[in-house]
Amino acid sequence: MINTRMMLKLVAYLVLVALVQPASAVQIRRVITDSGTVLRLRGNVTDGDYLRLKNVLQNDAVVGLEIRSGGGSLEAGIDIARVVRNRGLVVYASKECDSVCAFIFFAARKRFMGRGCKIGVHSVSNQRGKEDADTSRTTIAMSRLLVGLGVPLSIIGKIVATPPAKITFLNSRDLASLNVHRTNPFRNIYDAAGLARIQQGNSVCSHGVDLETLAGHASCTTAQARTPEAK
């Protein structure tokens, strides 16, 4: 488990310090299969996203996350990272995963990424997107948490050395040190779900649940269409 004492210290810093937060919340969608539920996360992380994610984790047998994000709220991201670590979830970065998204990625016990995906890191900024004494202390506290997660010091060094206004992408050596697998671990699950939909009739419908309204939704194509792959 992520060290509780270190978490409390970091949250105390976050009362005054946070990454620049976008206006819209991350989109969370269930992909439900016989093997369990995969949660697709799209967009920037904001305050409140952790509670939304926690709610679905309590009700579904979630096997992992597929994530694509440019960053967002550090506090919410740390909460999500803690859940990912403690539940032993698999995380698949399907496209670019930057800033706090990278923190969530680091928290996974098994890490996967798609072709062309980039993992970007930088130090912490305040609400004006600047670095100050408080953000520097937060960066140090976050770095110590990452040490506890087994993240190599070479990667942590890039986080500390990269100003908030810039971004450094991990290279092949960094990814190898994290034991990242360049494949989609959920491909077979997606393909099996697509095949089951094809067998249901002449149309192929992709079902999901909107976590804001808990209402079902579906988009359909012809039966001749190929089973969609996760991107």
- pLDDT greater than 60 at residue 67: yes
Structural contact between residues 93 and 121, judged by C-beta atoms closer than 8 angstroms:
no
Structural contact between residues 105 and 111, judged by C-beta atoms closer than 8 angstroms:
yes
pLDDT at residue number 113 = 95
Which uninterrupted H or E stretch holds 205? Answer: strand 203-210
Q: What pTM, to 2 d.p., does this model score?
A: 0.73
Domains of the chain, start order: 4-177 (3.90.226.10), 190-222 (no CATH)
Residue the block writes with tokens 């991201």: 77
pLDDT at residue number 24 = 58
- pLDDT greater than 60 at residue 192: no
From residue 74, give the alpha-carbon distance in Å to each of 16, 68, 213.
Answer: 12, 16, 26
Q: What pLDDT digit, counting tens, does each position of 176-185 carry?
A: 999 999 999 8
- pLDDT greater than 50 at residue 143: yes
Half-sphere exposure of 57 (CA within 13 A, CB side): 18
Name the more confident of 154 and 32: 154
pLDDT at residue number 206 = 37
- pLDDT greater than 80 at residue 201: no
Q: What pLDDT digit, counting tens, does each position of 29-57 carry?
A: 888 776 678 999 999 998 888 888 888 88
